[in-house]
């Protein structure tokens, strides 16, 4: 009897159909994913390097921290170099005969600052009321001409010379400036100092700060008027430099060039007349100012200015028994030399 060989049943075709069915469904998805990946890569390769801030958070700047070298030089601070107001080294050789009587003197070309001649020009000396040149310079910057100044109760008590200001009275500042620079009132100096600086000592500190700013190395102030000699000094050189700056102010030039000023005043005074103490005005051709001074320790002092044919000069004479003759001789020499 023949042996029966068992036949194996053919494999079922349903799993193959399901596999093909699933493949057909997944193929489009795979292609889409691949396309998206390729697109993202292309966009990323062409995208700007600037990051885009997330909508939900603030922009955080990208900060690069650089290591500071151990031996790095410190940052340099800006240095304010004072203007060179006077220029020495080119003085004109000249011997006055007879010699000038002043203990110190200097002659300067006001336009260029060139020092034409000097005698003990850097000696520190008491300068009396020529101090008021600095007082006027600073107060003119602060106070308008018709600004009312209330006279402080301390003002009438200053030492002579005084014009007679009364505590509490209100005076337009321009009147005080004329009295300061023509009559040389010490009460005017204090009244202006308090009005411009808030108090006397604040103003004096500003005077010394300005002196430092201008490069006045031989100058120190302890009073706005110069009435006290202690610790109040300058030099012929520094006064000439200071006067160059002050004469740049039109208000200052007008005042110091005035010989006589008539001023209306409140009752019971009604009127005042200020006469300029500078006797060069009206007697020396071309004289334009600027200030006299005197104490027992300083001796007679004079800062003078004059202009002829476009040439402007400043002459300073300190502690001279004949300051006007000394100043005339200096100015004559300067005009003849330029």
Q: Does residue 228 carry a catalytic annotation? A: no
Check 184, 235, 298, 312 and give the catalytic one.
Answer: 184
Tell me which residue of 115, 122, 14 sits closest to 337, measured CA to CA: 115
CA distance 268 to 271: 9
Asked whether 219 and 130 are in contact (CB, 8 A), the reply is no
Q: Tokens 């795979």 appear where?
A: 30
Q: Does residue 222 carry a catalytic annotation? A: no
CA distance 195 to 312: 33
Instruction: Identify the helix (H) or strand (E) that includes residue 278.
Output: none
CA distance 308 to 282: 14
Asked whether 138 and 206 are in contact (CB, 8 A), the reply is yes
Check 119, 132, 200, 291 and give the catalytic one.
Answer: 132
Check 119, 129, 200, 291 and give the catalytic one.
Answer: 129
**Structure tokens, 115:** 């020092």
- Reduced to 3 states, what is the DSSP secondary structure of residue 299? coil
Sequence-distant (6+) residues with CB within 8 A of 176 are: 149, 188, 191, 192
Q: Does residue 132 carry a catalytic annotation? A: yes
Instruction: Provide the annotated active-site residues.
Output: 129, 132, 184
């Amino acid at each position: 009897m023949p042996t029966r060989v068992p036949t194996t049943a053919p494999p079922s075709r349903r799993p193959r159909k399901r596999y093909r069915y699933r493949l057909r469904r997944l193929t489009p998805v795979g292609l889409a994913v691949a396309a998206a990946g390729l697109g993202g890569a292309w966009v990323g390769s062409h995208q700007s390097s600037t990051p885009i801030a997330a909508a939900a958070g603030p922009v955080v700047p990208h900060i690069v921290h650089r290591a500071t070298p151990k031996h790095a030089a410190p940052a340099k601070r800006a240095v304010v170099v004072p203007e060179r107001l006077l220029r020495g080294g080119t003085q004109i050789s000249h011997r006055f005969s007879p010699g000038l009587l002043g203990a110190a003197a200097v002659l300067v070309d006001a336009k260029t600052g060139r020092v034409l001649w000097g005698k003990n020009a850097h000696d520190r000396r008491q300068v009396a009321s020529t101090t008021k040149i600095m007082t006027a310079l600073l107060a003119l910057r602060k106070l308008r001409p018709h600004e009312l100044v209330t006279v402080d109760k301390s003002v009438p008590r200053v030492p002579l010379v005084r014009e007679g200001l009364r505590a509490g009275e209100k005076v337009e500042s321009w009147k005080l400036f004329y009295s300061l620079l023509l009559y040389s009132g010490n009460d005017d100096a204090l009244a202006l100092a308090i009005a411009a600086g808030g108090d006397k000592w604040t103003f004096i500190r500003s005077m010394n700060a300005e002196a430092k700013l201008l490069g006045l190395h031989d100058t120190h102030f302890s009073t706005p008027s110069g009435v006290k000699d202690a610790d109040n000094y300058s030099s012929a050189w520094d006064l000439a430099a200071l006067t160059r700056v002050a004469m740049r102010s039109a208000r200052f030039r007008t005042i110091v060039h005035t010989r006589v000023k008539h001023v209306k005043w409140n009752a019971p005074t009604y009127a005042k007349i200020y006469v300029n103490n500078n006797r060069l005005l009206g007697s020396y051709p071309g004289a334009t100012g600027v200030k006299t001074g005197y104490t027992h320790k300083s001796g007679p002092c004079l800062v003078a200015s004059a202009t002829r044919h476009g040439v402007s000069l400043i002459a300073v004479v300190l502690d001279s028994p004949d300051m006007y003759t000394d100043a005339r001789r200096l100015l004559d020499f300067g005009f003849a030399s330029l």
